[in-house]
Structure 1
Amino acid sequence: MSNFQILNNVDHKDLRIVEAVGQEFGDGIHSCPAYTFEFRDLQVDFPLMLQATEHDGLIPVAVMGFESGENLFLKNSEWTALSRPAFMRKGPFLIGQHQSQEGEEVRLLSVDMAHPRVSQGTEGEAVFQPLGGRTHYLEQRADLLEQIHEGAGHTQRFTQCLADLELVESITLDISLPDGSKNQLLGYSAINEDNVKALSAESLEQLSQQGFLMPLFMMLASLSNMGRLIQFKQQARDANQ
């Protein structure tokens, strides 16, 4: 269970964050949210698809495996992809909305003290300097969280526009591995390429003006990574036999 606390240099003066890669640090996930600002980088490695969520509706996700807990880009505690999703890079940090004494909503940096990357010992990156100032590491994470905060709104508008233009279709992928075993990728949606080709000039202009055209084509291009993901799955099966 998460234990978010507002980050401060008194209660968290000795806080460190472990940056190593591994299942034990929460990296064993088969997909994670993706934001439009990172699509250009992520499409090199991951299939970018869409998934319905209870609270946020339809969101883009980077697919890293075929079943729960399976990350095919995690091998022998090493990250093999060229890119790493912002959702994973942010670690235990979050920008939360809090109410000030004046009743105004303010955004404050929080940390999940129950996150497996949190360390109170000597391992990991220090969050605060000895005299209480922010370390360069924390400044980098704060900048990333601001980017995620701003990118989340753009990403939400992007997916809503896709739905409005009827460019989204639910899919079920039946995947046959070279050894004859079969897998299914369920619960995802993708861009309907035929509907994209049929878009009017007006709709294309609308997408372009809102900064949605590049993310749209990055999502389409990313689907070619499904073949590599299948190859990684077969390699993982072979290694475990």
Structure 2
Amino acid sequence: MKQLLIYEQPLALNRLTHRHLRIKPVPTNYAFARGLNSVPLTTTEFAPAARNYPIVFTGDADKASMPAVLLGLLRDDNLFVEDDSQWAAQAYVPAFLRRYPFVVANQETTGEAAAAAFTVCVDMPVVTQSDDGIKLFEDSGENAPALEHALGFLAEYQRAAERTQAFMQQLRDSKLLVTKTIRVERAGTEPHTLNGFSIVDEEKLQKLGGKALEKLSRTGALGLIYAHLMSLGNVSLLSARFDTRSAALKH
């Protein structure tokens, strides 16, 4: 899964070069995410996300790299973006989408230092020099409120992503993951499959020894695993949303 799924042309911000740069008032809609059937998730989001989506892990079992939520049953199809481009009511919106149009540039360093000092990018399609745009920098060169808020959100996201990678390493080390495929069959349509992801194998989890379980529990990984397992029941909710939308399109 590419980290820049929703970004067309990220521009690395520079307070000197881009002193007078502004961004268009971004409407509170998610049209930019309409073609995504999954997005990355951090472990801090497991609890709210597990109420609405199946949580899976991208990649095959031995190389799984990141948790993700499934948003649709077809490739390039998001069941949670409504006709008016709003997110489905009461459904949790993943932080990966909420940080748009800002994103952090790829960086070599990790840890707290990286979370405190990073290069911020903004997606070029929202950039404007119009006076009605939202300032990113004050005339003095200091961060304007919009950028300051984005910096705080991105720093928090980076810290959560670091913790998430530690959790993923535990999963790989514990050999708990199994590659999974979902077969989708609907009347009147060709069967198709969703693949490229893994889930925790409950049988393997039950066979873990006491020390291994104690370690997962001590780090908080065990609770995250159970949240993931419970969330898999939401595949039926995706199916229901798919059927409801398909029925509406026929009328």
* TM tier, smaller: 0.7 to 0.9
Q: Secondary structure at the match of 2:165?
A: helix
Structure with bigger helix share is 2
Q: Percent identity?
A: 25
TM-score normalised by structure 1 residue count: 0.82
| 8 A Cα contact 1:7 1:111, kept in partner | no
1:20 corresponds to: 28
CA distance in 1, matches of 2:75, 2:132: 29
**What is the root-mean-square deviation in Å for CA atoms of aligned residues?**
2.9
Q: Secondary structure at the match of 1:112?
A: strand
CA distance in 2, matches of 1:32, 1:97: 18
Alignment of 1:1-241 (within 5 A): 2-8=9-15, 11-16=18-23, 18-23=26-31, 25-52=32-59, 58-75=65-82, 76-80=84-88, 81-96=90-105, 107-114=117-124, 116-121=125-130, 126-128=135-137, 132-177=141-186, 179=187, 181=189, 182-241=191-250
| 8 A Cα contact 2:58 2:66, kept in partner | yes
2:111 corresponds to: none
Task: Report the Cα offset of residue 120 of structure 1.
Answer: 4.4
Task: Report the Cα offset of residue 130 of structure 1.
Answer: 6.3
2:5 corresponds to: none
| Residues 57 and 233 of structure 1: CA distance in aligned 2, closer, same or farther (over 3 Å) | same
CA distance in 2, matches of 1:65, 1:117: 27
CA distance in 2, matches of 1:26, 1:118: 19
Q: What is the CA deviation profile of residues 79-121 of structure 1, one whole-angstrom value per residue up to 9, with x for unaligned ones?
A: 015211111111132233679xxxxx9933322343x444544
| 8 A Cα contact 1:43 1:219, kept in partner | yes
| 8 A Cα contact 1:50 1:188, kept in partner | yes
| Structure 1: runs of 5 or more not aligned | 100-104
CA distance in 2, matches of 1:125, 1:219: 39
Task: Report the Cα offset of residue 30 of structure 1.
Answer: 0.9
TM-score normalised by structure 2 residue count: 0.79
| 8 A Cα contact 2:101 2:123, kept in partner | yes
CA distance in 1, matches of 2:11, 2:21: 17
Structure with bigger strand share is 1
Task: Report the Cα offset of residue 209 of structure 1.
Answer: 2.2
**7-16 vs 218-227, greater mean Cα deviation:** 7-16
| 8 A Cα contact 1:19 1:117, kept in partner | no
Amino acid at match of 2:120: S
| Structure 2: runs of 5 or more not aligned | 1-7, 109-113
Amino acid at match of 2:235: M
Task: Report the Cα offset of residue 169 of structure 1.
Answer: 0.5
Task: Report the Cα offset of residue 123 of structure 1.
Answer: 6.9
